[in-house]
Chain A
Amino acid sequence: MDFSKINWTKAAITWGIPLVAVILVGFLPAYGSAYWVTRFSYFLMYIILAVAWTIFSGTTGYISLASAAFFGVGIYAAALLGDAMPLIFVVIIGGAASFVLALIFGAITLRLKGIYFAMFTFGLVLLFKELIYYYEINVEGLRGRFVVLQSNETIYYYLLGIFVVTMIVAYLIRRSKFGLALQSIGQNEEAAAHTGVNVTMVKILTFAVSAIFMGAAGVVMATKWTYVDPGVAFNLMISFTPVLMAIFGGMGNLYGPVIGAVLFTYIQEVLTTGDLAKYYMLIFGAVLIGAIVFMPNGLVGVIQKLVGLVRKWRKGGSVAQNADT
């Protein structure tokens, strides 16, 4: 390591801040109240969903609305298996089940154009809901199920764990040649295919990997909610909200969805309690449209633009100088 070449300021920001944040957040149950632990659990849940979503959809440009489907699979895994085995195994099974389902459905639809894929994933949530509802009522005679309860701390730490794994995997993918392939698919899929990238396999695999974390998160949240039925488990808002968060935060890098998720979970909380609750969908829709029309690169994109403008202004606007940056 050549220490003189390291940009210490940049390193401090890139690594230092997250490290401090993780430590603070990691020890939260020790110093924070149950209310805050629960609140942060929700932050973590949405961060996991938004980041997992971005791993696939943010890079390839294929909008997936199936997040709720995989999340719901995790919920039902917890409902069915939560009593029979330790939570860690249920989490693994929930993640694995989501992975397999994503592989299957990805293989069916990722060969087609992106718009078919988006519609299909949207339909998948509704299909799962209808099928499970039908099965539960007609075969099991149940409307909903009870899930084994876990303590606030357990839920929090499991989510934290899933969050850390999700971030690590997202980071590794992004930095690897696999990540380069994903980007190339998003920019120009035909060219990527002609450059030797097995685009179908890359898409399917990435889609399936992103589903793992959604399923895992579902398992844990089920133990928080303790009563689940198909409507709760396969809730379209769980598909849309991470999309909005990722768009709002910016899909170009890892932090965008995290920022978007934190901001939006907070906003969502404010909006769903109190007088504005009945306008929630309206505001959500308006923000979604606003984000797409005015901030297609998200907050991070806006910040980057601002930083770029500031840089240009500082350098006196000389084109030749800027070319070397």
Chain B
Amino acid sequence: MEQFLSIFIGGLLIGGIYSLVSMGLSLQYGVAKVLNIAHGEFLMIGAFITFVLQQHGVDPLLTVVIIGPLMFIVGYILYRTIFTTIRLKAANPGVFESNALLAAFGLYFIVQNIGRLIWGTTPVSYSYLPGTVSLGGALFNDSRLVAAAFAVAVGAAFYLYLARTRIGKAIRAAAQDPTTAGLMGVNINNTLALCFGFGAAMAGVAGALISICYPIYTTMGLGYTVIAIVVVTLGGLGSIPGSFIGGFILGVIGTAVTSWDAGLAVASYYVIFIILLLVRPKGLFGK
């Protein structure tokens, strides 16, 4: 029983983080139409900034609050400069998507290289909230619970933002039909950039939260990007709630596979991805 709870609850805990990361990618791909392969690199930067600040005495949870806006600005600027130019030059949306994907790969290389230059490749970690909690006999680190709680809170807050505010409406409109939204007075360039920025913010926050619980290393980004892609596909393209739920599902599956054989975790994500593409490409809640 303990082992089941350990896997199930443990899966939910990491799933909370996956959800946050995936929602960020869902915004970037579902709305801004950029399959941002560099998403995980922003996560990595968020994690390392948190680490560096922690070493200087800054409480990581404080950094979580700071890193969001910081990454948002970075993401916003990147979109307004690089991706908007590509979008305006592209002959059709398909061309934009593939060019944006390639540009994102470029970002992936740049950001990761910067990370490696500054922090090297060995993993680092710090201790935060070292206590543990027992749930039904299975032990969990306090840090993991706090991180998951924060992740869910940020995700929920953003979902409300989307549903209730004017900007949120603009984003949803742009997600459905950018041209019409533009005609109705939505500043498309700004809105898409906002989405990209929000996505980057979520990645940064997720990175900060991850650094609280696990060791971090400069090559960690790609693994999370892959997970986010699988979750977004599983949840359904264009569905933020779908990514949210999908994150938890994948968290549990991933934890289960890892407990059986750690080496197969990544392969299992790909198998899930392949099966999804074959059977139901639009995922659980996709249009």
Contact = CB atoms under 8 A, between A and B. Distances in A.
Direct A–B contact in complex, judged by CB atoms less than 8 Å apart: yes
Interface residues of B, number: 41
Contacts of B99: 292, 296
B109 A61 contact: no
Nearest to B110: A285
Interface in A142-169: none
B127 to A, nearest CB: 31
Contacts of A292: 86, 99, 102-103, 106
Interface in B99-121: 99, 101-103, 105-114, 116-117
Interface in A103-133: 108-109, 112-116, 118-120, 122-124, 126-127, 130-131, 133
The DSSP consensus for interface residues of chain B is helix
Contact of B110 (A123, A126, A133, A282): A282
A112 B281 contact: yes
A308 B216 CA distance: 53
Interface in A33-69: 61-63
A4 to B, nearest CB: 40
Given A119-B35, A285-B108, A288-B106, A134 B277 contact: no
Interface in A284-321: 284-289, 292-293, 296
A243 B103 CA distance: 12
Chain A: number of interface residues, binned into ranges? 35 or more
Interface stretch (B89-97, B145-153, B173-181): B89-97
A226 B86 CA distance: 42
B229 interface: yes
Given A61-B94, A134-B264, A292-B102, 14 more contacts: A108-B278, A114-B98, A115-B97, A115-B101, A118-B35, A119-B229, A120-B277, A130-B263, A133-B263, A278-B117, A281-B109, A282-B113, A285-B109, A287-B106
Interface of A: 61-63, 108-109, 112-116, 118-120, 122-124, 126-127, 130-131, 133-134, 137-138, 240, 243, 247, 278-282, 284-289, 292-293, 296
The 4 closest A-B pairs by CB, nearest first: A285-B109, A288-B106, A289-B106, A285-B110
7 contacts: A108-B278, A116-B281, A119-B35, A133-B263, A138-B263, A288-B103, A292-B106
